[in-house]
Structure 1
């Protein structure tokens, strides 16, 4: 039940932020009129690549390489159990690497990939428990 409450809280917060005009936001990102805006009210266009962190956790120099290639965003593959477990410490390290390299982290729990078609894929409820 706590997991559901956390998800609902995040959804409500997202709805509130998305309803704010771009000039009203002064921290983080906001969405308005189908566009993403940064904290300064500038349109943000995510440009990046996937990083298979869960399978290569010791190859963190890739974040600097991704930034050097001109990306501003990286989608980071994590796992809550299906492919091993990315610990909270590891997630914090990933976020620190993103910040250090001026990259926006898009954290992804890969456990649900193929859900509905792949019987080994985790349900959304199970994946949500990983985030909780």
Structure 2
């Protein structure tokens, strides 16, 4: 219970809001390891695969001197799941629970084909001002 209150709950609450967004790579990596250990201890099948995949990639890159680890270490805040979450939301919004796998895949391909318009919608907030820059 002490481990849960002192380590696990603060780790889960701080992992994204504090560690990831501040770029604290070493602390982030250590916290991922603690979360993975917690998920194994409590047999949380749905929560133990993502940390394992991340740790596996990091250790593989470190062992083979692959530059990706250094890129993540230097630019941690730039690596996020926005694109994945965005496309999943768009797929869910444009399909129904009655669609089969092929229909969902076709819809995903259509959404991906229109990704340039989705990019503009998501990131290009055009603002029109009544004054010119010279004014």
TM-score over 0.5 (shorter chain): no
Q: If each structure's strand is expressed as a fraction of its own residues, which one has the higher value? A: 1
The structure with the greater share of residues assigned to helix is: 2
Decide which structure has the larger Cα Rg and report it: 2
For normalisation by structure 2, the TM-score amounts to 0.22
TM-score, normalising length: structure 1: 0.22
